[in-house]
Each structure stands twice: as C-alpha cells, then as structure tokens.
Amino acid sequence: MSEKSVPNAEEFDFLVIGSGVAGLFTALHLADHGRTAVITKDILTESNTEYAQGGIAVSLCPKDTPEDHERDTLAAGAGLCDVPAVRVLTQEGPDAVRELMRLGMRFDRTNGELTLAQEAAHSRRRILHASGDETGHEVERALTRRTRIHPDIEILEHTQVTGLLVLEGRCLGVDAIVDDGGERRRFLAPATLLATGGLGQLYPVTTNPLVTTGDGLAVAYRAGAALRDMEFVQFHPTALDDEGSPKFLISEAVRGEGAVLLNEAGERFMPGVHPLGELAPRDIVARAVAEQMRNAAGHVYLDFSPIPPDRIQKRFPGIIAECHRRGFDVYHEPIPVAPAAHYMMGGVNIDLSCHTDLPGLLAVGECACAGVHGANRLASNSMLEGMVFGLRAAEVARKLAGLSAEQASQAAHLPEAPVRYAPPTLRGQLQELMDVDVGLERSSDSLGRASEALAAWSKQVGSAPLASREEIETANLLLVGRLVVAAALTREESRGAHYRTDFPEASDDWRYHLVLRLGPDGQPLIEPMPVLDEAPSPHTAD
C-alpha cells in the first residue's frame, strides 16, 4: 500500500454510483441536463439486473389496475409498507415501463400484445418478461447501449467508491480507487446518487453476483446518512441446489406457470402450509422449503411436469439451458432447490423524492429504502422500483444548484479520507456466521453470537491510503453485517423475512420501521420510525 495522493478533482454535474437498472435509467434521464459520470466497480453490465429472470410487475392489462397492484404489494409487505411509497410505485409504474420501451426494451409479445406472466402473491398476470426468462439481460442491453452512445455520459468502470466527500453537512462528491488499488481519484458534483444494489454476498448461498457487497450502504452510513429496515433480507425459495456459486435462480415464474414443490417422498407440501400453495409469499415458501430439508434431512424438488413441454421451452429457455449445463433435465425429472439470499428490503433511508438525510446525496434501487417493500418484497417489483424512483431522483437532482467555485475548491482540497479495508480471509467466516445465525431463522442466542463475532472481527478493519477491491468489500460486508444483526436483535417479533424463533408471531407493538444512524461512540443508534399508513385505494371491480 503506497502513499499516492488524490490527483486534481474532476467535476461533473451528476454522479451516479452503480450500473444496474436504477443507476442507468437515472443516468439517462440526467445526462440531457448536464455532464454525468456513471461509476461502477466492475464492468458496466455486471449487476443484479443482468441476472434477473422473472420480469417487471406493472398494471398494463385492461383487467388490472394500479390499485390491484398496490393491494398485492401491501399484502406481501406484512404490514410494514409505507402506503404513499407503494402508491407511487404502482401509479407511476406504467409510464416508467413505457419509457423503458422507448429506450429500446423489447418485451415478449403474443399476437402483438405484451405477454403477461403470473408470479407468487400476485392476484393477476402482470409480469412483463423478455426472451422468456432473460428479462434482466435485455434491460441491461437496452440501457447500456443508450448509455454508451450518450455524448454527456462518462463511464468509469473498475472504479470503487471508498467514501463520500462531506463539507459543512453536504455531500459534494466521492473519493474512489481505480483498477483494483491502482490509484485514487476524486469526483465532485452537486448531486451524488447511490444505486449500488444489495448485500447478497453477506451469505454463502446467494443468487446475487460477486459485486453485491453492500458498498453503498457502508459509505452512506459512515458519512452520517441513516439506514432503514436492515433486518429484512429476503431469501428466494428456489435456487438450484448444486455446487454452483453464486446459486442459479429458478424464477418464481416457473411456479407461476404451474410447477410444484415436492419433498423427499415426492409429495407436495405447500398446500398444507398456505392457501396459495407454491404461490404464497416468498418468506413463507422459503421457510417451508427449509423446514422440509431439515426434517427429512434431504432435498426439496421443483417439478416442471405440470407445465406443457412446449411452454417450458418457450418461457424458460435460459433456465433449461443452465440446468442442462449443470446436469439436470427439467423435462424428465424434478430438480433440487433450496433457499438462497436474494434481496435486501432495507437500505439507505430516503423520502419519496429519493433524498437521504445528507443533502446532496440521493439513493435509488435496492440500496435505498422508501418503504415500498415492507418486510417482504412482492415478486418482480424491484426493477420497477428502480425505474419509478430513478425518474423521481433525476427530477430532483436536476434542480440542485451547481457547486460554487468556492465549494468546488474546498471539496477538492478536503483531506483524503482513509480507505477502510479488512483481510479478505474473513469473508468466508462472515458468510458462514450469517448463514447459521442470521439466516432464515434467528433468535436472541444466535444473534448474540453473531454480534460478538462481528465485533471481534471488526477490530481487524484498518485504514490506509490505498487498498484492493476485495479488502474494501470485506470491510463493507463486516459493517453491513453488524447493522443487519443489530436491527434483527432489536426487533423482537417475526414479520415477513425476519423470523425469530424466540418471538415467532408478529406484534402490533413492533409495527414500525427501525432507523439506524452512526452514533458518536461508533455504535449504531436505532430509533423507531412510524409506518405511513394511508388507507389503501378502493378495490376496482373487473
């Protein structure tokens, strides 16, 4: 680790950190109004979006309405959704999807009409998809193509943000390291937007790619921004149960088309767990799958046979191909599946305009929390959220005043913030700890063990002028792991994706969000935040 200094700061009108659907969609709606940097620590296309299979939930069918979509989202969120945020998502979703299509997105169609699929906990077929089960790849294709050709977007790949520049309580840009510890750079802007995705790499079994290490959450928290709902980590119930890593997701849409779950004895078990059977909310299905695996000491299987073979081929070509590559034939045998860490419902606390409580800093997508998903995200709402709130974030960012010459000069000469790093060898131990003690089920005892271990490991976090990407990511994972555990210890109930074996029921006494802030002693301060509880929109008859 050398003593290289930060070169002259480079000034932009807008900084967008992250290159999934939230980041690129927002950047494209900023770039016509000013010079925009898209900063991503890997290549432009590497994000959770690229691997999304199921699709985008939106009420575009004449028999569907935003009110129907709102009601399903609230039901899945287990009482912790903020109604105004859900209403923004469902009411503004159709226009956001139309805008995505204008940018070049090609959804599947039948006889010229958009094809709509069914997924768990949706009362109607409202899931748009592309190339069967490669929706995320098509979203990335459309958005990256536009991003690469836009004259006012500068793409900065292999650039890892290490900290936010804060001057007199305002975010004025970021410090970063490029080329895996090669050199430091500083970028200034009146508006910095975090779109860094989730934290799936906290767990050894995850559907998320290797880039999902909670970086945006960590830098925001260290800079003084509040986080919210960090105890709610969603586990997808059906990842292919083989040795591949990251785990290959078997889309919820497969069950939406009729596939069923079988236990070791070849019997269905979900109808006895929930009236919706295999289409129950994800938290319920995931825990039921885990219970079957634990009790029978064997596998759980997903059986495609109720779906007509020609329908399987047309709807799930990517899943079929990947299963075949790994030695599984979905046409002739059920395939083994197991839960895997999938999505973070919590994140940087934002309002409906994507403001954090640090002026100049906005957040959108999985790294942000506006209260849309509550305790359990409804399937295929994630990419829609990135677009709907991306449009809102772009509108807000465009209105922020540019940096004055004095602000730019002061920010450029701020002292270099030390880069936090940790030994990469800790990552495997951290993932195993989170899996055992902070997974689908938690308790006071398990969370206490996790808290003690994380506190001990965090003493190995150091500071230096430069560090490798893996060292920085490990430090970030340790921090967000501590925050997940702190929130989970605090919430003494079970709700949605947070299940406490010592408090197995939901309680109205805990029906509020938990907000976490960095305290003066370096420990998180945890405060309650009311759920915004407007009455749901009235039901609209068919």
Q: How far is CA 235 from CA 113, 365, 436, 441, 448, in A?
A: 33, 18, 14, 11, 21
Two tokens, residue 227: 């986080």
Interatomic CA distance for residues 330 and 166, integer angstroms: 53
One DSSP character per residue, 225-266 reads --EE-TT-EEEEEEEE-SS-SSPPB--HHHHHTT-EEE-TTS
**Given 228, 282, 315, 442, the catalytic residue:** 282
Query: Is 170 a catalytic site residue?
Result: no
Contacts of 127 by beta carbon, 8 Å cutoff, 6+ apart: 54, 55, 56, 57, 116, 117, 118, 119, 253, 256, 379, 380
Q: How far is CA 73 from CA 161, 356, 373, 525, in A?
A: 33, 23, 7, 29
* One-letter amino acid of 315: R
Interatomic CA distance for residues 239 and 384, integer angstroms: 22
Question: b/e for 480-514, b at 16 or more Cβ within 10 A?
Answer: bbbbbbbbbbbbebbbbbbbbeebeebeeebbebb
Interatomic CA distance for residues 337 and 439, integer angstroms: 17
Contacts of 422 by beta carbon, 8 Å cutoff, 6+ apart: 457, 458, 460, 461, 462, 471, 474, 475, 478
Which residue's structure tokens are 């068919």? 542
Beta-sheet pairing, 368-369 with 347-349? parallel
Catalytic machinery residues = 282
